[in-house]
Structure 1
Amino acid sequence: MRHDSPSQDPRPGREREVGRAFVELADTLVDDYDALDLLDRLVTHCVSLLAADAAAILLADPRGELRTVASTSEDAELMDLLQLHAGEGPCLQAYRDAAPISVPDLTTTDRWPAFTAAADATTATVFRSVHSLPLRLRGEAIGALNLLHHQPGSLPPDDLALAQALADVATIGILSERVIRNSGIVAEQLQTALNSRVVVEQAKGILAEHSALDMDQAFERLRAYSRSNNLRLADVARDITTGRIDPTSVTGRHRSSGRG
């Protein structure tokens, strides 16, 4: 359950969980790290540590257009898509301003009328509050992190600060000092993450169709398989799409004739 007041006590063991999250994220910052796996771990930690119902990350492609590269649910991706189609919303604002944006109740804000109207008209969206943090370094934003909640309400300043710190770690992982000095490498690094996301979506579809899973369940199986075998998420996804990995070995379920 989300805290509505900064004075509330943190959950037992939360300090240890925070420490583990930063250690795990830092461990990915090696010479040949997988940016997509880093971002996927970030959204997973945000949901766990900040009691968010969902989280998503958008990165800017070489043309400056935002695209979802990591999310914890299909509903979270839909919220991103609605903002991108409307050309406005909290995540776009956080990216453009390179500053955090908090919306305690989407039904009472008039800041982004096109987005809120689309969200209100789409019954699949179940989120009432959004908190968006920029992925930024030295005032330059390369994307945004969205924290989504089913219930309206504010996040304590300490939670927002923690979310920004996690986002900053991920940003540093994407834009190292060496990369910052070479804009060509920056574009290549970001494009690689974006391209990998496309392959992951294809693999999710294959797993869902093969084993009668929904897309969220398919992604959970995909992520669990890659981590348990110490493989890159994008590499596993690519091997599934090319037939090198049997979907049954990932999902543990044989082909089904119908969803169940």
Structure 2
Amino acid sequence: MASDSSQDPLDAVLRPNWQGALPAGADPLFVGIGAICDTAARLTGADGAALAVLTPTRGVRELAYATDALAQQLDEVQFTVGEGPCLDAYHEDRPLLCAELDDKTLDRWPAFSSELVGLEVAALFAFPVPGQHRPMGVLELYRRTAGALGDGAHRSAQLCAAALQRTLESNWAQHLRHSTTEEAAIEAAAVSGSSAANSDPFTRQHVYVAAGMMAVQLEITTSAALDRLRAYAFSHHVSVTAVAADVVARRLSFRHLGDSSVDS
């Protein structure tokens, strides 16, 4: 592996590869993340919180932690449809504060809005986790009742986002100290993530593996395959991780499915 000092290590660990995705497992890169998310929910009065780690590579996104099933589902919906406050907070590098999920607010995300029907969520708040050049992730908070964050809660959320940055960077620095080179550290993190993937309820390793398999079946790029995987999941009203699990287990193949079956 060629050395690239400007390479984002999380990007390298998370980059999809059809021959075997390099996931970011809960150990060692995400140690301590759960406690900070729990604290963020408590200090802001939120009903739940999650941390999504994103990288400059298109479509690469890992759920590092969620405090509860609804927080996990809200992140999963945004991952599946490819839109929502988390993604906009990341791309715009600013907090997205949805104190009330009314029609005017949700017009911005029509696909995401349609998936919220029936979910007990009335407010969403997304805070970028700072990075050297761009955010490295997003702290996601939700409430079951509408209402803006007070000044104290807003500051607490930003302090927790900064704590997440320090923890992620410290975990990576510690991992580097136990490796001879940055390349060796990336490979070790990938192996560790692979071994933890089966027990990690948040990892999306199988999504990127499935996208690679689908890319081979349809003779398209991995990015295009990931888009089609999302489209298939959305049109069939299932999560993209559920579809990916079927692809990886070879219960579902796109090789003999026409474009209409994928995109409809």
Residue 105 of structure 1 is matched in structure 2 by: 100
Q: Which amino acid aligns with 2:199?
A: V
User: Is the Cα–Cα contact under 8 Å of residues 175 and 186 in structure 1 kept in the other structure?
Assistant: no
Distance in 1 (CA, whole Å) between partners of 2:187 and 2:52 is: 16
Instruction: Using the TM superposition, give the Cα deviation of residue 198 of structure 1 relative to its aligned residue in structure 2, in angstroms.
Output: 5.0
Q: Which amino acid aligns with 2:166?
A: I
Distance in 1 (CA, whole Å) between partners of 2:186 and 2:134 is: 14
Unaligned runs of 5+ in 2: 1-26, 203-264
Residue 131 of structure 1 is matched in structure 2 by: 125
Distance 1:58 1:157, change over 3 A: same
Query: Matched residues, percent identical?
Result: 23
TM-score by length of 2: 0.54
Distance in 2 (CA, whole Å) between partners of 1:197 and 1:40 is: 17
Distance 1:188 1:169, change over 3 A: farther
Unaligned runs of 5+ in 1: 1-32, 203-260
Instruction: Using the TM superposition, give the Cα deviation of residue 43 of structure 1 relative to its aligned residue in structure 2, in angstroms.
Output: 1.1
CA distances 1:130-170 after superposition (whole Å, capped 9, x unpaired): 00001112441111111100011110133112211111112
Q: Which amino acid aligns with 1:167?
A: A
Q: Which amino acid aligns with 1:88?
A: E
Q: Which amino acid aligns with 2:54?
A: A
TM-score by length of 1: 0.55
**1:216-255 alignment to 2 at 5 Å?**
none
CA distances 1:91-143 after superposition (whole Å, capped 9, x unpaired): 111111221110111233111111011112xx2x2111000001112441111
Residue 50 of structure 2 is matched in structure 1 by: 56
Distance 1:199 1:161, change over 3 A: same
Give yes or no for the alignment of 1:170 onto 2:160: no
Structure 1 runs (4+) deviating above 3 angstroms are 61-64, 176-179, 181-198
- Whose RCO is larger (CA < 8 A, sep 6+)? 2
User: Is the Cα–Cα contact under 8 Å of residues 42 and 166 in structure 1 kept in the other structure?
Assistant: yes
Residue 249 of structure 1 is matched in structure 2 by: none
RMSD: 3.1
Give yes or no for the alignment of 1:118 onto 2:88: no
**Alignment counterpart, residue 87 of structure 1, candidates 74, 82, 85:** 82
Distance in 2 (CA, whole Å) between partners of 1:80 and 1:117 is: 14
The aligned length equals 166
